[in-house]
Chains A and B, each alone.
Chain A
Amino acid sequence: MSEPADTQLVPPSSVVLVSGGSRGLGLAIVTDLLDAGVRVAAFARTITPELEKLTAEHPDRVHVGSVDVTDLRAAQSFVREVEQRLGPIDGIVNNAAMGQDSLHAHTATDDIARIIETNLTAPLQLTRLVIRRMLTKGLRGRIVNITSICGQRGFPGLVAYSATKGGMDAATRSLARELGGRMLVNSVAPGFFASEMSAVLGPTQLDQIVRRTPTGHLTEPVEVTPVVRMLLREHTNINGQVIVVDGAAAI
């Protein structure tokens, strides 16, 4: 930590890898980055019609693949394809994750292992893979981890999920230190979305969260994408931070 600081600025990312980019927030991030003129590589287990449409609209700026984030070998060959088609990757958004909705005592041990593998092990391995490529090429870049308010606040039914999100927030801080300013590493932690994974919370719990939220509504993906874009594209000195986007529900 006592090494001299690397004072050169980290340029905006020009080729961004987005995991879990086929629906929900991931798809919104891919769409937003394409609108901003960025080249985007998106993968997910299943390529949705929405993602296919984006590929058709921007054939020279999008590369999509059907890859399970826990399949490191498949992720590796996808990264190689991306480098050939779009150029070296200098940004990554770790977005792919699986949800949970079961009390810890009644969650199958296999399910706990699967949640940790998908939400913690896989993004750490993918990040390792991409930073190795960036370091080899002498590139500077940006890393954005999509975590969750669950990493900082408690919610029943989300014990293993919360552990992975808190784990990624902790990794964000250590990675920011370790990469010594050559890469900016941050987390974006949304509150609950009205759709998708947070359908798991149940209407009563969601109503309660809305009532406690000063802005009076649950978070929408379009409210998160500008923050992700800023972390990937703007010149800021934000590094090692967790930015919560939840309308102050947790404050």
Chain B
Amino acid sequence: MHSLGCRLRRMNELSRAQIRDLMAQVLKNQDKELPADDAAQLREIGFRSLDFSELALRVEDETGEELNFDAPGLRRIATVGDVLDFLVELQHQ
């Protein structure tokens, strides 16, 4: 039972690439483009904290799991790679 439960949760999880696609959609809605480089600075591409909120909620919609998190983690996010790492990790919690 328990291992099945774990497997089901893993199946709901989004991959880094899937999250990247969602991030591109969030930016596209604002006529902005997501660079291919993970090192790209969020400040330069204009991805703000509420955009991060929107992305996290889109991931929630896809997986059906709430992703709650504190603000200090958010403040450390500076690059596209940071966003993807944060959300991949958050799904494991």
A101 and B68 contacting across the interface, CB-CB below 8 Å: no
Q: In the assembled complex, which residues on chain B have CB atoms less than 8 Å from the CB atom of A156? A: 71
Tell me, in angstroms, the Cα distance from A111 to B69 when the chains sit together: 11
Contact A107 B75 (CB under 8 A): no
Q: Which residues of B contact A108 (CB under 8 A)?
A: 66, 68
Per-residue B-contact encoding for A93-128, CB less than 8 Å = 1, 0 else: 000000001110111100100000000000000000
* Cα distance A156–B48 in the bound complex, in angstroms: 14
Q: Within the complex, what minimum Cβ distance (angstroms) separates B60 from chain A?
A: 9
A107 vs B66: C-alpha distance when bound (angstroms)? 10
What number of B residues sit within 8 Å (CB to CB) of A?
Answer: 13
Assess the A101–B70 pair: CB atoms within 8 A.
Answer: yes
Which size bracket describes the interface of A in this complex? Answer: 10 to 19
**Residue B5, interface by CB 8 Å:** no
B71 and A200 within 8 A (CB): yes
Chain B residues closer than 8 Å to A204, beta-carbon distance: 75
User: What are the residues of chain B within 8 A of A157 when measuring CB–CB?
Assistant: 71
Q: Once the chains bind, are B66 and A102 in contact (CB under 8 Å)?
A: no
Q: A138 in the interface, Cβ–Cβ < 8 Å?
A: no
Is the Cβ of A107 less than 8 Å from the Cβ of B68? yes
Residues of A within 8 A of B70 (CB): 101-102
- Considering the chains assembled together, what is the distance between the CA atoms of A106 and B60 in angstroms? 11
A195 to chain B, nearest CB (A): 15
CA distance A107 to B67 in the complex (A): 9
- Extra inter-chain contacts (10) besides given A102-B71, A103-B74, CB under 8 Å: A102-B68, A102-B70, A106-B68, A107-B68, A108-B66, A108-B68, A200-B71, A200-B72, A202-B71, A202-B72
* A-B contact list, 6 entries, CB within 8 Å: A101-B70, A103-B49, A103-B53, A108-B66, A111-B68, A157-B71
